[in-house]
């Protein structure tokens, strides 16, 4: 019986494997329950950690003027000043476009149309090409 070779296996179809994986994930997400109600286990031993004896607890509020100065310092230059302060700031000072553009107009906007299957096959072909380059 050594003369008969076993039949060759067909390679797995990656698109079908990906579709099965997507269906499995969707099914898991459908039946997954999120428990956001947490509580302490009453049957477990509980250790209390004491506070640091040398730490000073601040009860007072910050000065309103101090908070306003810090907020002003963290703002962008366009919001802080009326005019640009340096030549580098002049380049991007006016950020509003001169002409309103319609992103839905397909005459000038050519967006790539991809579905999950085409994205997956792009990656699969890229991996196949890399494997062929390595051999």
pLDDT of 88-116, one tens digit each? 899 888 888 888 888 888 888 887 778 88
Q: Quote the pTM value.
A: 0.32
Residue 4 pLDDT grade (very low, low, confident, very high; cuts 50, 70, 90): confident
**DSSP 8-state class, residue 53:** T
> What is the model's pLDDT at position 2?
61
Which of 115, 113, 121, 123 lies closest to 16, judged by CA?
A: 121
Q: Dihedral of the CA atoms 51, 54, 55, 57 (nearest 10)?
A: 100
Question: Tens digit of pLDDT for each residue in 34-88?
Answer: 777 888 888 888 777 888 888 887 777 788 999 999 999 999 999 999 999 999 8
């Amino acid at each position: 019986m050594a003369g008969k070779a076993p039949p060759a296996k067909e390679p797995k179809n990656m698109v079908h494997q990906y579709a099965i994986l997507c269906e499995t994930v969707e099914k898991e997400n459908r039946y997954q329950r999120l428990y956001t109600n947490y509580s302490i286990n009453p049957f477990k031993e509980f250790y209390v950690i004491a506070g640091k004896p040398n730490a000073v607890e601040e009860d007072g509020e910050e000065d309103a003027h101090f908070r306003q100065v810090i907020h002003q310092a963290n703002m962008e230059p366009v919001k802080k000043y009326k005019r640009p302060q340096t030549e580098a700031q002049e380049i991007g000072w006016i950020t509003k476009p001169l002409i309103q553009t319609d992103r839905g107009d397909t005459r000038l906007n050519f967006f790539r149309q991809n579905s999950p299957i085409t994205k997956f096959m792009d990656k699969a072909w890229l991996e196949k090409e890399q494997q062929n380059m390595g051999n």
